[in-house]
Amino acid sequence: MRKKLVAGNWKMHFTPPAARKFAEEMKTKLCTPDVDAVLCVPYVSLQSVMDALAGSLVKVGAQNMHYMDEGAYTGEISGEMLASMGVPYVIIGHSERRERFGETDTTVNLKTLKALQHKITPIVCVGESQRQRREKRTAAVLRKQITFALDEVRPSEMAKIVIAYEPIWAIGTGEAATLEQAEEACEMIREHIMDNMGEKAAQTVRILYGGSVTPENASALFAMPNIDGGLVGGASVKPSFEQVVRYGK
Ligand code: PEP
């Protein structure tokens, strides 16, 4: 039985004081023993949000990390730095980073392995573009992204990994995937993991859906058999994120 997980991706929103205030207001509301709730916040707000969430079941996450521990990488933050702060989650390979910041399948893999090494749970994002879906290449694209991302990951580590299926055409567009599209893709990802890593790995890995999740559609999406929760952008910086998290139950 996989526990549901709902992660908010704040993207580049909230100054550190505003982040602290929002986290303080939300922390009891998001606390439910049935769902792991995570707030993935900008680096500069990690500490203030962690302070605000102290003693709560709600966890914090970063939105990216570098795959090296240290070095001449101006502007970057390493997994070692996140681990030393006690950050338990990190988003890896979000499509915005793949499209706008040169993230590749190779860097996604290096970051995933590094996050695991530092005992940070990577939320690894995969998803097809509108064009790839139109050309019926969704399955091939997802298989390739998953194969690369999980290269050298051991089957026993899959319980510590979260995959987020995020069709690019659904992110920030208000056009969520249908229940059938989301379930079909998440099932396909699970089957691919089963074929390559075995039944136990496939049954333990949590697979989220992301893309225009709202309080209106969350309940039905999260009830699908292969969808273990959501990665939520726009709806996670609003007080109604409470409903989205609670629908994970
Ligand atoms: C995201 O940023 O991962 C995302 C899914 O955004 P939104 O919920 O706004 O579509």
**Segment 83-123, tens digit of pLDDT:** 999 999 999 999 999 999 999 999 999 999 999 999 999 99
237 lines ligand 1 (CB under 6 A): no
Residue minimizing CA distance to atom 6 of ligand 1: 233
216 belongs to the catalytic site: no
213 lines ligand 1 (CB under 6 A): yes
Which entry of 94, 96, 118, 128 is annotated as an active-site residue?
94
pLDDT of residue 249: 64
What is the rounded distance in angstroms from the CA atom of residue 67 to the CA atom of residue 187?
29
Torsion of the alpha carbons at 140, 144, 147 and 149, rounded to the nearest 10: -130
Condensed to tens digits (0 to 9), the pLDDT of residues 40-88 reads 999 999 999 999 999 999 999 999 999 999 999 999 999 999 999 999 9
61 lines ligand 1 (CB under 6 A): no
132 lines ligand 1 (CB under 6 A): no
Residue minimizing CA distance to atom 7 of ligand 1: 233
Condensed to tens digits (0 to 9), the pLDDT of residues 184-235 reads 999 999 999 999 999 999 999 999 999 999 999 999 999 999 999 999 999 9
- Ligand 1 centroid–CA 218 distance in Å is 13
Condensed to tens digits (0 to 9), the pLDDT of residues 16-35 reads 999 999 999 999 999 998 99
